[in-house]
Amino acid sequence: MPELDHLIQGSKTKIILQSFADRILILVTQRGKVGNLIQASIPPTTPLISSEDVSSAIHLTPLLGAAPSAHLHTLHALYATQIASHIWLGSRLGADRRPVVVGIALNRTKSPNGTDKDRDDDDLTLSDEERSTFQGVMDMVKEILTAASNAPGAEAVDPNTERDL
């Protein structure tokens, strides 16, 4: 089971990747917990050519837990969608379109105006810290997928190559 640890925005961030016969589990945590579990699935008729095609067709199903605000719900959906897209488009793990279960347990960040107060449900603006954390997590996802694809017996897949499935 590949694991990866990095420091993102001063917080130890761990990603754990586990492939099962019927789905792929990827946990992203800064809190040492599984967190909010969301399953991403894609219809078999959706072409795996570009992230735009894939992202618009992804179906998200909450499995466990819930984000405490509309802002975090949207942010967690973004994480699940992007992580699943990276798996389906950029690794050998996604070649068979298995559902991807994403666990998200990230530290709370300040709102764009610098306060710790909960945001309004309509406030979907990302703070600089959230943007930086998101980019750091996506870089870690790419790194762990590359490591998993390059493991002994694994066939690497170029994410920029079109595939017929």
| 117-152 pLDDT, tens digit each | 454 555 667 888 999 999 999 999 999 998 887 766
pTM higher than the cut 0.85: no
CA 106 to chain centre: 12
For the chain, what are the domain ranges? 3-48+60-106+127-144
3-48+60-106+127-144: CATH topology is Ribosomal Protein S5; domain 2 (3.30.230)
For residues 70-99, average pLDDT = 87
- In 3D, which of 7, 83, 98, 106 has the Cα closest to residue 44? 98
| 31-64 pLDDT, tens digit each | 999 999 999 999 888 877 777 777 788 999 999 9
d(Cα 113, Cα 63) in Å, to the nearest integer?
32
The pLDDT-based confidence of 89 (bands split at 50, 70, 90) is: confident
